[in-house]
Structure 1
């Protein structure tokens, strides 16, 4: 993160030759650095949620507990694509941390970082084994049930659905019947 911040500072400095010489290249570099920084934030957040999960609120109804727990898995999927890719990335990073001899620039932090990565990797393994996978059929059934309910209140003062409302409902129904896309 520090390297990205210093790179961003370097390319946007007023005395930078890129600032005047090639604005399109400057914009491309700035966009890349912003995207990379956002991705690193997303990865750090996902790993933090895996390694140090927030306990479920006592006020949360039991029926919603699985959905709250699945948010951690969603964050991992957002950051890495799949839990398997997250495990591969963590294994690679742990392997990098344990290489011998340890480079001088990492000697102070290697032990703590390896411990945190191992903690996240172990927690990720438990998360994958917790059977929190989303069931497409259950989601589709709940969506169909929700779409079958009237969107507006019925009764003497209720407005009749418009052609736009009906077209929108048909488009949603067609989209839910489309084949699944897997990453």
Structure 2
């Protein structure tokens, strides 16, 4: 088993059990206890099963996390159960940013089931986690890893689509204004004759 092989991690992620797809218990009575899952994952990663203090948002902030984002966190916890992440205390402090910042933004554009069902979204989650944890995937250098993540990024793709849409709207507005100006000029010419 190689260390941080993207294909191997994607394969592991796509085998995520259905139990991780349940909503958070903060949103539904029969859901998963997300805070307990996060705490256990911190313990697994830092290999300190007696630790009780973890970097987790306040209860007030946790209440505002959307269902799709919670389920993405659950799926990422399955990814972090891969043996490569066990006893990796160096990444412990980076998980907060991954879960509550980067994954939060990506979850605005990706439905939770796509993290498992779509090969590119699964690779995006793997690469996003590795990037946040400052881990370079096996067989790649930092620039290659950054380029591959950028090409898969749902947030970046949405920004490009938005910019493209806005540019198209500006072009259509200019064409409309030019057509109106041409019609006015034609009407003025007709009125003088």
Asked if these proteins are the same fold (TM beyond 0.5), I'd say no
TM norm structure 2 = 0.21
Structure scoring higher RCO (CA < 8 A, sep ≥ 6) equals 2
TM norm structure 1 = 0.21
